Structure 1
Amino acid sequence: MVRLLLPARHDNHIRNHPGGMNVMGIKISTLHRNVLAALCLSAISGTALAALPGPIVSPHWLKAHLHDKRLVILDLRSPKAYAAGHIPGAISAPYVHWRMMIRGVNRMLPPIPVIQAYLRSVGVNNNSEVVVYNDLATPMGLGLGGETRAFWTLKVLGHNSEALLNGGFEGWLKSHGALTKTVRHAHGNLTAHFQPQIYATLQQVRADLHTHVVLVDNRPMHQIVGLTKAPFVARYGHIPGAVPYPVTWMVGHNGNLLPKAKLEALARVAGFPENHGAPMVTYCNTGHWASIGWFVATQELGYKNVRLYDGSMTQWAYHHRDPVSVGFVN
C-alpha cells in the first residue's frame, strides 16, 4: 500500500481555501490538486502509466510491469506450449493465425478486417502496450521471425506501441521468471489504419526493378544465389539487383539478434545505402525472415523508408513472368 506521509501538524494548517486547497500553508490550485491525484493514482495502480522503453524489452522490465493496466502480452507459441506454462497474464495468440492464403500465395497478411478481428479477440486495444514473445530455440531465426512479423503486423495496422521480449520465452526462463497455466482471455477495441508506407505489393516491386530502390534479400545465402530453394517456391534464385543480407547475418546461434555493431558492419558489407532515408524493400520466401530484416533496418539501424514485400519469393516466382537471377548477386 502506498501512503502519502505528511509531517504532524495541527488540523488548522490543512484547510480549504477559495480557488484551491492550502496544505501546510502551501496553496495548491485545483489544477495542481488534479495532477497530484493522478500521480498518487499512478503509484497506487502499479505504474499503470508506464510506456514501453523501446522496441525490445528485457525480462527484468517485463517482471516489473506485469500488472500495468495497458500491457498486453501475446504468446505466439502453439496452444500446446501455452497450456504447458506461460508468462503470467499472457494471452495465447499462435503465430499461425497471423498469416493466411491469399489468391494462391500462402502466409500473407490477412485482409485488414480479418486481422483486426483476430487482434481484438486476443485483447489488443488502440492504447495497448503490446509485448510479443515466441520460442527462440529454433534454427535459422524462425522463432524470432514470428516475433518480428507480429511486430510489423501491428505497425502496418497503425498500432504504435509494441515490443519484442528480449530472449523470447527462453530469456524469460533464464531470468527465473514465473510461469502459470492460468488461461487469460480478453477482448480489445483495436481499430486498424493500414500503413502502406511499410508494405510492398507485387506491382510495386515490379516497378522498383532497375530504380534507386534497394531490394534486400533476407533468405539464407544458398537460397539467394540459387543453390537451393524452399519447396513451396517455384523457381531458384533472387529478384534481380537485390543485395544479400541473409538471416544468418542478423540472428545468432541462440536465436537472438546479433549485437548492433555487427548488424551495422554487415549492413555495410551488404551494400546498404549511406542515406538512411533511401527507399528499401526487404523480402525472403514468405515475409517471415524479411520481417527480421525490416525490424533490423528500421528499429536497429535507423532506416526511415523501408517496406516489407509480403508475397516475397513465393509470390514472385509463382508468376513466371517476373525475372529471377541465379549466382552471385550484384
Structure 2
Amino acid sequence: MTGEHSTGDGGDSDPAENATRRGLLRAAAGATVAGAASTAGCLGVTTPADVAAQNEVSGNVGHFVGPSWLADNREDTVVLDARDPERFREERIYRARRVPFDAVTARESTEEGDVPDADAIASAFGEVGVSPDDDVLVYGASVGSRVTRVAFALAAVGHEGSIRVLNGGLSAWNGRLGTGSRDRVSPTEYEPEPDDSAWVTREWIADRVGTFNADGPGLVDVRVPEAYLAAAGSDALNGDHDRHGHLPGAVDVHWVGNVSGRRMTEPTRLVQLYESEAELDRGEPVVVYGDDNVDPTSTWLTLKAIGFADVRLYDGGFGEWANVDGDRGRYPVETATNVVVETDGSVGGDDDGGDFSCTG
C-alpha cells in the first residue's frame, strides 16, 4: 500500500522523498493557479496563497469555511474527500479519507416513501474511522453537489460533531498534500441516530399538496428549467419517468446558482436569490428536491448556510414522485403553473459530473 507523502518542509528525509515533495509542490501550485483562474472568471492568479485568500469565507455564513480555518483546525478535524477514487489517489489533502459515494446516497423504501438508508450511510462513515462526535470537513474539486451530499448524509444519520465544507475545494488548499492509496485507519462502530427532521417523504408531501409556497412550507425544484417546465423534446427530460413537470406549488431555482466556479456564490446574492426572488419564508420549513437525491443537497446546505433554520430534502426526488404506483391523483404533477427564478452559476472541477469553462 502506498503511503502518504507530505508536501511540508522540515525533518530528515532522503533525496527521493524530497524529490517527491518538490514534485507535489509544483503540481499543487499549478493546480491551484489553474483553479483560481476558473473560479474568478479566468483572472491571472499566480500563487497558491492568492487562491487560498480568494476562497476565504467572511460574514454571517454557516457551514462553509476557507482554507485558513482548516489550517488552524486541521489536527482536530476529520477531513473527508468526496471525489472519485482516481482523483483521490492522484492528490488530496494530507490524511484525508475518501467516503464511498454510492453508500452516502443509499436509500431504503418505506411505506411512506424512499428515505436515506441510515444503516448503510453510517457503516460507510464507520469504515473510514469517523465517529459520531468528530468535527468533520468535506471537500471535493469544488463545492458542488457531491460534496454537499456527503454533508447531508452526516446530518441524516444524526452526526453530533460539526459539519463543514471547504470553500473552493482542493484547489483552494495550499497546505500539505498526500498521494497514493489511503492511510490505514481503524474502523469505528458508527451507530446512527437518524434525524428525520432533515428529510421528508412522499407521503409528507402528498399531505400538503396545495399549500406549498402559499400558506405552508416552501418547496424548491433544483432542476434545470426545461425539466421543471416539461419542455417537449428537451434533453433535460428523463426518459425513465412516466410523467414530466414538477410538484404542485414548487418554484424552480436551478442549484448551480449556488456555485461560482469552485466556491459558493456570494452570500448577498444568495439571500437575494432565495428571499427576494424565490420569496421563500424563513419562518416556514423549506423542502428541496431534484431528479435524484444528490443535486438538491447543494440548495439544502446553501439555505442553511445563509440562515434558513428548517431545510429538508425530499430524498425520493421527482423520480419517485413521477413514477409512483397506485392512485396518482394523490401525487399530481403540475405543468400549467410555473415560477422559474433565473440563476447564473457554474461549477468548476467535476463535482457535478460535468466540465467547466471560463464562459460558463
Conserved in 1, the CA contact under 8 Å of 2:128 and 2:186?
yes
> Deviation of residue 163 (structure 1)?
0.6
Structure 2 counterparts to residues 157-176 of structure 1, below 5 A: 157-160=157-160, 161-172=162-173, 175=174
How many residue pairs end up in the alignment? 261
Distance 1:305 1:291 in 2: 14
Partner of 1:82 in structure 2? 88
> Deviation of residue 214 (structure 1)?
1.7
Partner of 1:204 in structure 2? 204
Distance 2:169 2:155 in 1: 20
Distance 2:308 2:164 in 1: 18
Supply the AA of the counterpart residue of 1:264.
V
Conserved in 2, the CA contact under 8 Å of 1:200 and 1:308?
yes
Which stretch shows the higher mean deviation, 176-185 or 194-203?
176-185
Does residue 241 of structure 1 match 2:249? yes
Structure 2 counterparts to residues 263-274 of structure 1, below 5 A: 263-267=270-274, 268-273=276-281
Partner of 1:309 in structure 2? 314
Q: Percent identity?
A: 26
> Deviation of residue 304 (structure 1)?
1.8
> Which one of the candidate residues 319, 322, 333 is aligned to 1:324?
333
Distance 2:70 2:128 in 1: 19
Conserved in 2, the CA contact under 8 Å of 1:234 and 1:314?
no
Partner of 1:116 in structure 2? 122
> Deviation of residue 100 (structure 1)?
3.0
Conserved in 2, the CA contact under 8 Å of 1:226 and 1:327?
no
Structure 1 unaligned blocks of 5 or more = 1-52, 137-142
> Which one of the candidate residues 132, 135, 138 is aligned to 2:141?
135
Distance 1:295 1:233 in 2: 27
Distance 1:281 1:54 in 2: 19
> Deviation of residue 83 (structure 1)?
1.4
> Deviation of residue 131 (structure 1)?
0.9
> Deviation of residue 328 (structure 1)?
5.3
Distance 1:183 1:192 in 2: 25
> Deviation of residue 102 (structure 1)?
4.2
Q: Which has the higher contact order (CA 8 A, sep 6+)?
A: 2
Distance 1:113 1:96 in 2: 13
Q: Secondary structure at the match of 2:147?
A: helix
> Deviation of residue 235 (structure 1)?
2.4
Q: What is the alpha-carbon root mean square deviation over aligned residues?
A: 2.3
Structure 2 unaligned blocks of 5 or more = 1-60, 340-360
Conserved in 1, the CA contact under 8 Å of 2:222 and 2:295?
yes
In structure 2, the CA distance between the partners of 1:81 and 1:232, relative to structure 1 (3 Å rule), is farther
Distance 2:132 2:158 in 1: 9
Distance 1:112 1:176 in 2: 33
Structure 2 counterparts to residues 52-91 of structure 1, below 5 A: 54-68=62-76, 71-91=77-97
Partner of 2:222 in structure 1? 218
Which stretch shows the higher mean deviation, 179-188 or 83-92?
179-188
Q: TM-score, normalised by structure 1?
A: 0.73
Conserved in 2, the CA contact under 8 Å of 1:201 and 1:311?
yes
Distance 1:219 1:325 in 2: 15
Q: Secondary structure at the match of 1:132?
A: strand
Distance 1:256 1:133 in 2: 11
Q: TM-score, normalised by structure 2?
A: 0.67
Give CA-to-partner distance per residue, 1:145-170, whole Å, 9 cap, x none: 11111111111211141111111122
